[in-house]
């Protein structure tokens, strides 16, 4: 990455940097996917290399696995690790109850499985991801390729009785072909504008044959670390009901900012 970091990148970085401090020696850590999670992986890699931090990382995508190995983090599969102390991941949207939309990066299935197998889930996000109601960001759902158009019709029909404002589903593309997830599935993006009842929608969508999982994370996230472009970070803990603020300095000449490929 050349030139100065944008305020959004700075916000993502400071959120990731602050969350990295929650990771302790000996922990098994779920590593999320996306540009914010990539900052986290780089920060943890630096802590492993320079401070001797000893952790096992369980990546939520092939992209994250590659980056984790590249920066020196020991990687295990979820089945090898079995249970995790902490998962740290990004989000596309979060609301006041820390319900999330995830899957903008196409990794929602592994992300949900890994977060479900963790004592704690911490979300790292820039302030722009905070919303009053979820749904402006299209809700990704992972569907199997077989009969995906039929699944799409069933999903759109199901949405008629749901508390949402929009009801169209589009197939996510990657160039001229459908986007393929790490599990070989497709993603339908649901353009809902506003989701009135995320819990109900998540349950109903998953009942539709062909749907593997949806990108609504309800009652899974314990803490959100919100980054701002000026280096401020806010840590909100939903269980404790606490909000802490902090400030992170970043030095762009730091090795962390060199040779970035994500
Ligand atoms: C990937 C995700 C990401 O966490 C989400 O898309 C946020 O990405 P970014 O940190 O790049 O804004 O859910 O499936």
Mean of pLDDT values over 64-74: 98
234 Cβ contact list (under 8 Å, min separation 6): 225, 226, 228, 243, 244, 245, 246
Distance 22 CA to ligand 1 centre (A): 20
Q: Which of 46, 50, 80, 111 is catalytic?
A: 111
Instruction: Name the residue of 16, 105, 215, 262 to mutate for ligand 1: max ligand atoms within 8 A of Cβ.
Output: 105
Q: What percent of the chain has pLDDT over 70?
A: 95
* Of 39, 30, 41, nearest in space to 11 by CA: 39
Which residue carries 């649901």 as its tokens?
190
Distances in whole angstroms, Cα of residue 17 to Cα of each of 8, 12, 169? 14, 9, 36
Confirm whether 111 is a catalytic residue.
yes
- Tally the C-alpha atoms within 13 A of residue 119's C-alpha that lie toward its C-beta: 7
Check residue 226 and give its pLDDT: 98
CATH of domain 2-130+219-247: 3.40.50.1360
List the single range of 3-17, 63-77, 181-195, 221-235 with lowest mean pLDDT. 3-17
Query: Which residue ranges make up each domain of the chain?
Result: 2-130+219-247, 139-215
Residue 227's H or E segment, with its range, is strand 223-227
Count of beta carbons in the 10 Å neighbourhood of residue 203: 13
Average pLDDT over residues 176-189: 98
Please report the pLDDT score of residue 213 as a whole number.
Answer: 98
Task: Tell which one of 12, 63, 92 to mutate to probe ligand 1, the residue whose CB is within 8 A of the most ligand atoms.
Answer: 92
Residue 57 pLDDT greater than 90, yes or no: yes
Q: What is the pLDDT of residues 24-46, one digit of tens each?
A: 999 999 999 999 999 999 999 99
**Which pLDDT score, from 0 to 100, does residue 253 have?**
58
CA of 153 relative to ligand 1 center, distance in Å: 26
Band the pLDDT of 223: cuts 50, 70, 90: very high
| Ligand 1 atom showing the smallest separation from residue 126 Cα | 12
How many residues are recorded in the chain?
A: 262
Percent helix, percent strand, percent coil in the chain, to nearest 5: 30, 25, 40
Q: CATH homologous superfamily of domain 139-215?
A: ACT domain (3.30.70.260)
Please provide the distance, in angstroms rounded to a whole number, between the alpha carbons at the two ends of the chain.
Answer: 9
Q: What is the model's pLDDT at position 22? A: 98
Mean pLDDT of the chain: 95
């Amino acid at each position: 990455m050349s030139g100065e970091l944008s305020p959004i990148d700075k916000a993502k970085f400071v959120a990731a940097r602050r969350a990295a401090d929650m990771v302790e020696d000996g922990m098994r850590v779920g590593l999320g996917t996306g540009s914010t999670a990539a900052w986290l992986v780089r920060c943890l890699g630096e802590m492993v290399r320079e401070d001797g931090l000893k952790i096992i990382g369980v990546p939520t995508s092939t992209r994250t696995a590659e980056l984790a190995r590249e920066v020196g983090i020991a990687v295990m599969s979820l089945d090898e690790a079995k249970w995790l102390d902490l998962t740290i991941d990004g989000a596309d949207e979060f609301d006041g109850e820390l319900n999330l939309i995830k899957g903008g990066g196409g990794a929602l299935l592994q992300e949900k499985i890994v977060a479900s197998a963790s004592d704690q889930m911490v979300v790292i996000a820039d302030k722009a991801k905070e919303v009053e109601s979820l749904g402006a960001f299209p809700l990704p759902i992972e569907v199997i390729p077989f009969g995906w158009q039929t699944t799409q019709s069933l999903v759109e029909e199901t949405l008629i009785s749901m508390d949402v404002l929009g009801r169209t589903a589009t197939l996510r593309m990657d160039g001229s072909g459908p986007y393929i997830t790490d599990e070989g599935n497709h993603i339908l993006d649901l353009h809902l504008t506003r989701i009135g009842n995320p819990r109900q929608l998540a349950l109903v969508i998953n009942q539709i044959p062909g749907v593997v999982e949806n990108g609504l994370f309800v009652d899974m996230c314990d803490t959100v670390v919100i980054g701002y472009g000026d280096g401020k970070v806010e840590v909100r803990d939903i269980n404790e009901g606490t909000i802490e603020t902090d400030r992170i300095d970043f030095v762009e000449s730091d090795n962390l900012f060199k040779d970035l490929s994500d």
